[in-house]
C-alpha cells in the first residue's frame, strides 16, 4: 500500500490480549486493511474484518497511533461509534483497531490506572529536594568552575520497570542499559517500539 493513498490507513491488531497497568495489547498479529473504511457501513465493516482475521468480532476498539491506549481507546460497537471512528481516521490519516478476544474490563482497568497515576503527583519542591539528595544525579561545572544549573540524571537500574522514563541527557553505564530502559518505558506507556537493523 502506498503512502500517498487517498484513504486513511487502518491497522487491525488481533489474536493478542489486553493487559492492564499500563494498558497494552500484547502478542498481536497486525493486518493493514486494503479498503477504504468509508466504503462500508458499520455492520459490513465488522463482517469484512471478521472475514480477514477469521474470528467473530464482538468487542472492537480503536485508538490513534502514538497515543497511550489508556488515554485514547474508544469502543467500536455501533453506527455512532463507527461514524466517530471514520472522523478520527480522516483527521489523523491513520487509526489502529483492536480486537478483544477475551472481553476484558478495559475501562475498569483504565480507571484504576488513572487513580494510580494521580497518587504519583509531586510538587516542584518535592522533586528538587529528592534530586538534591539523590547520589545518582551529577551536576556539571563550566570552564571557570562555576556550577551549572543543569542536572544530568543517571539511570537507576534498580527502579521499578514501569516507572522508568528516559530523560534528555540521562547517563547510562552501558548500551544494554539504555536499550532495557527504552523497552521498559515503551511497555509502561503503551508505545510501539521496534529496532531497525543497520545494513
Q: Please check whether residues 90 and 126 belong to one and the same domain.
A: no
Pick the last residue of a domain from 110, 145, 167: 110
Does residue 194 fall inside a structural domain? Answer: no
- Split into its structural domains, the chain has a count of 2
Q: Do 26 and 93 belong to one domain?
A: yes
**33 inside domain:** yes
Measure the CA–CA gap between 48 and 60, rounded to whole angstroms.
13
Which pLDDT score, from 0 to 100, does residue 1 have?
42
Q: Are residues 98 and 72 in the same domain?
A: yes
Provide the CATH number for the domain around residue 66.
Answer: 3.10.20.90
Other CB atoms within 10 Å distance of the CB of residue 181: 21
Give the pLDDT confidence score for residue 177 in this predicted structure. Answer: 80
Q: Are residues 22 and 56 in the same domain?
A: yes
The rounded distance, in Å, linking the Cα atoms of 176 and 169 is: 17
Do residues 83 and 130 share a domain? Answer: no
If asked whether residues 104 and 128 sit together in one domain, one would say no
Where among 110, 143, 175 does a domain terminate? 110
State how far the alpha carbon of 70 is from the alpha carbons of 11, 79, 80, in Å.
Answer: 18, 23, 21
Comparing CA positions, the residue from 59, 71, 73, 64 lying closest to residue 14 is 59
Are 89 and 149 members of one domain?
A: no
The pLDDT of residue 124: 59
CA angle, corner 23, sides to 178 and 63, nearest 5? 100
Residue 4 domain flag:
no
Same domain assignment for residues 66 and 147: no
The confidence score (pLDDT) of residue 122 equals 55
- The verdict on 87 and 143 lying in the same domain is no
pLDDT at 55: 87
Cα separation, 178 vs 26, in Å, equals 22
Asked if 72 and 129 sit in the same domain, the reply is: no
Looking at the structure, tell me whether residues 131 and 49 fall in a common domain. Answer: no
Q: What is the pLDDT of residue 3?
A: 47
Are residues 24 and 97 both part of a single domain? Answer: yes
Q: Of 85, 98, 99, 109, which is closest to residue 36 (Cα–Cα)?
A: 85
Which domain-ending residue is among 110, 135, 163?
Answer: 110
Is 115 among the domain residues?
Answer: no
Listed as own residue / partner, the contacts of 103-106 with beta carbons closer than 8 Å and 24 or more positions apart are 103/58, 103/59, 104/17, 104/18, 104/20, 106/18, 106/23, 106/61, 106/73
Whether the model pTM is above 0.85: no
**Domain ranges, residue 164:** 121-189
Q: Mean pLDDT per 10-residue run, the chain (199 residues)? A: 67 88 82 88 92 89 85 91 92 91 86 67 58 54 55 71 73 77 77 66
Amino acid at each position: 500500500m502506498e503512502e500517498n493513498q487517498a484513504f486513511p490507513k487502518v491497522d487491525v491488531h488481533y489474536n493478542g490480549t489486553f493487559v492492564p497497568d499500563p494498558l497494552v495489547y500484547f502478542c498481536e498479529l497486525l493486518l493493514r486493511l486494503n479498503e477504504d473504511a468509508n466504503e462500508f457501513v458499520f455492520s459490513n465493516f465488522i463482517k469484512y474484518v471478521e472475514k480477514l482475521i477469521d474470528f467473530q468480532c464482538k468487542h472492537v476498539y480503536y485508538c490513534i497511533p502514538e497515543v497511550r491506549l489508556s488515554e485514547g481507546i474508544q469502543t467500536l460497537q455501533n453506527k455512532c461509534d463507527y461514524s466517530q471512528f471514520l472522523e478520527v481516521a480522516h483527521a489523523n490519516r491513520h487509526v489502529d483497531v483492536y480486537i478483544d478476544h477475551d472481553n476484558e474490563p478495559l475501562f475498569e482497568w483504565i480507571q484504576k490506572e488513572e487513580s494510580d497515576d494521580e497518587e504519583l503527583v509531586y510538587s516542584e519542591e518535592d522533586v528538587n529536594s529528592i534530586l538534591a539528595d539523590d547520589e545518582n544525579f551529577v551536576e556539571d561545572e563550566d570552564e571557570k568552575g562555576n556550577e551549572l544549573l543543569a542536572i544530568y540524571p543517571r539511570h537507576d537500574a534498580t527502579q521499578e520497570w514501569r516507572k522508568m522514563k528516559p530523560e534528555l541527557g540521562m547517563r547510562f553505564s552501558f548500551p544494554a542499559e539504555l536499550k532495557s530502559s527504552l523497552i521498559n518505558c515503551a511497555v509502561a506507556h503503551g508505545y510501539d517500539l521496534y529496532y531497525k537493523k543497520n545494513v
